[in-house]
Structure 1
Amino acid sequence: MAQHTPPLTAAEKARIAVLVGRMAKRSVAGEQVDCSDLERAMDRILAAARARAEKATRAA
């Protein structure tokens, strides 16, 4: 089941855009290139955004 994507700040959107660009650049190099470090970084950004959104809903 896919998790809901939380609202992202402008900085988070920019960081994700940079990571997606780096992933695309690596994928041009070939299928055997590892992108797991960039995927983990994106997961951390999304996890922080989810935590922030959850904290905001609890405070409201």
Structure 2
Amino acid sequence: MKKKLLIEGMSCNHCVAHVKEALEALEGVSLVEVSLEDNCAIVESTTSDEVLKEAVEEEGYDVVGIE
């Protein structure tokens, strides 16, 4: 299932790498695309929204919505 995480707090490519690595480390995640320009991550995953949100927030960024 493809999900779009709306993320606040990313300001550079280093931030993008942190978010991407955190999401890719989760079980059930098969694809991660993070966009600094759009402040979002597209994730193909069977993982729950709460687990995805928690992984991003542990890196210091805010998930303000999941579509």
TM-score band w.r.t. shorter chain:
0.3 to 0.5
TM-score of the superposed pair, with normalisation by structure 2: 0.34
Larger helix proportion of the pair: 1
